[in-house]
């Protein structure tokens, strides 16, 4: 059987149509579209995006923080950059006086005088206690720059003190003692002769001329208003013959007043060696001087003028407290300055029937001594004031009348009770003790007492009295009451009314009492 021959053209087509075989591709690669990323590329890009998000979020947080604290962005970074270097600096001692010369000061309106721009110093006392013991002290503390300062009441209660037992020289506040010794030594119309030595006294002058004669009163004005050193020597020489003997009188007066840390060497305050006092002693002297009507009249004056031998002398006070004290009336008393003593001022203020006295020694500027004084006085008047604890119209209790079934009688304080209160010592507690009344109740009859205390100390007490007369039951009324009590006893009914106390145990401190 003959074999069929293959068609060479068909064989060539078949061979040409065959393609070479390839390895199978992965399914992911088979499904990938143009522009798709690999897993590694996705991870890298996610990391980059995360870093950008963190950077953007930190910037936003920083911006919010800066806005919240009101700081420019640069200051926040500067504060962080300087933190380490600042932490290495020694903190200033609390006993160091503030550097007033290098501290920028802005003019203050009167309402801003009391901002606490000077810190509480170690040892500052408020009413005899450490200032830090008062909860309100950081919110309302007198801004005082002077290293030696004090404030007291007219009766001598010291409300604020700073280094008041440290001996310091007191400059022309010395003339307070010169004046009071002169006032007590000679009548005010006594003629005083001005010697050449007195007229040539160094330091501040009132304008007295050698050979002039002046009255004691006019010389006192020359001493206390313009702070004339010449007037101090005139008074000393005319009272005691020479200044040294007059100084002995000054020291004797200081001893008499109990100024145990005070020593004088002259009548004007120019001396430095062994011429000293303390803020505590000068509180004593200020209270004594201001109790003298003549002294008080002179230091309250702003100006004075007199004529002697055809020469007219006009003078003006060195006391500028009236420009700074806005919430009280300034009433004197004396300035002082030397290089060693610094700027000094003993001041006084009055409001609402109360007086306070202040001392500031060794201020660095003339203005600051008046600002310190105003701050002390107005702080004092805010917290030490006259208040009314109770008056006769305020009912204290309904007092049970035990002879009756259900009768009570009103009880009151017999008179208004007013005190001077220092409110920083805390709330006032009222303890009311009332006794029931048996039989007749007579108007004005004592039935108890009120005791007011503050911080554990008794402030005041008062009787409580019946407000009206109520007779006792008659015989037949008594029999009826006894019968009702007998049967009421089976139902546990009370035998008589109960006393009701109407005052609360804690007194809300009222606002200052305005006195006409």
Which residues are marked as active site?
Answer: 172, 175, 227
- Give 477's contacts (C-beta < 8 A, 6+ positions apart): none
- Gap between the Cα atoms of 13 and 475, Å rounded: 153
CA-to-CA separations, 121 to 357, 368, 375, in angstroms, rounded: 21, 17, 16
Residue 167 and residue 263 in contact, taking contact as beta carbons nearer than 8 Å: no
Residue with tokens 């001041």: 347
Residue with tokens 């108890």: 448
For residue 345, give the H/E element and its range: strand 342-351
Sign of CA dihedral 93, 123, 139, 367: negative
- Gap between the Cα atoms of 188 and 223, Å rounded: 14
Residue 160 CA from chain centroid, whole number: 9
Cis peptide before 333 (omega within 30 of 0): yes
Residue 173 and residue 336 in contact, taking contact as beta carbons nearer than 8 Å: yes
Q: Torsion-angle region of residue 171: left (phi > 0), alpha (psi -120 to 50) or beta? A: left
DSSP letter (8 states) at residue 111: G
What are the tokens at 169?
């020289």
């Amino acid at each position: 059987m003959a074999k069929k021959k293959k068609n060479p053209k068909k064989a060539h087509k078949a061979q040409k149509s065959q393609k070479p075989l390839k390895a199978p591709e992965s399914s992911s690669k088979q499904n990938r579209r143009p522009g798709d990323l690999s897993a590694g590329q996705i991870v890298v890009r996610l990391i980059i995006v995360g870093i950008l998000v963190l950077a953007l979020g930190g910037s936003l947080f920083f911006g919010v923080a800066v806005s919240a604290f009101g700081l420019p962005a640069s200051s926040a970074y500067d504060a962080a950059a300087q933190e380490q270097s600042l932490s290495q600096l020694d903190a200033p001692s609390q006993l160091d006086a503030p550097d007033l010369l290098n501290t920028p000061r802005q003019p203050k309106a009167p309402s801003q005088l009391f901002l606490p721009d000077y810190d509480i110093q170690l040892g500052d006392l408020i009413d005899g206690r450490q200032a830090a013991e008062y909860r309100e002290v950081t919110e309302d503390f007198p801004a005082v720059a002077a290293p030696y300062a004090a404030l007291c009441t007219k009766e001598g209660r010291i409300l604020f003190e700073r280094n008041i037992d440290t001996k310091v020289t007191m400059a022309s506040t010395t003339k307070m003692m010169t004046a009071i010794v002169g006032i007590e030594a000679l009548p005010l119309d006594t003629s005083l002769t001005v010697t050449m030595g007195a007229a040539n006294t160094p330091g501040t002058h009132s304008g007295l001329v050698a050979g002039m004669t002046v009255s004691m009163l006019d010389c006192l004005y020359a001493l206390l208003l313009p702070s004339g050193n010449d007037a101090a020597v005139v008074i000393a020489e005319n009272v005691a013959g020479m200044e040294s003997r007059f100084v002995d009188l000054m020291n004797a007066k200081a001893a008499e007043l109990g100024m145990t840390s005070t020593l004088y060497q002259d009548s004007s305050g120019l001396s430095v060696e062994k011429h000293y006092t303390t803020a505590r002693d000068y509180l004593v002297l200020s209270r004594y001087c201001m109790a003298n009507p003549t002294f008080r009249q002179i230091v309250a004056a702003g100006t004075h003028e007199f004529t002697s031998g055809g020469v007219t002398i006009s003078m003006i006070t060195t006391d500028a407290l009236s420009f700074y004290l806005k919430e009280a009336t300034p009433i004197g008393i004396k300035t002082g300055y030397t290089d060693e003593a610094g700027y000094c001022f003993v001041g006084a203020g009055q409001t609402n029937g109360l007086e306070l006295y202040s001392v500031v020694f060794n201020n660095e500027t003339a203005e600051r001594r008046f600002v310190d004084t105003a701050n002390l006085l107005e702080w004092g008047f805010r917290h030490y004031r006259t208040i009314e604890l109770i008056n006769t119209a305020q009912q204290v209790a309904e007092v049970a009348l035990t002879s009756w079934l259900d009768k009570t009688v009103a009880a009151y304080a017999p008179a208004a009770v007013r005190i001077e209160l220092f409110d920083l010592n805390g709330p006032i507690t009222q303890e009311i003790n009332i006794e029931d009344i048996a039989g007749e109740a007579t108007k004005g009859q004592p039935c108890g007492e009120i005791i007011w205390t503050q911080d554990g100390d008794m402030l005041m007490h008062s009787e409580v009295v019946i407000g009206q007369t109520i007779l006792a039951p008659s015989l037949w009324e008594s029999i009826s009451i006894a019968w009702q009590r007998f049967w009421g006893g089976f139902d546990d009914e009370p035998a008589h009314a109960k006393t009701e106390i109407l005052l609360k145990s804690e007194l809300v401190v009222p606002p200052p009492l305005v006195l006409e």
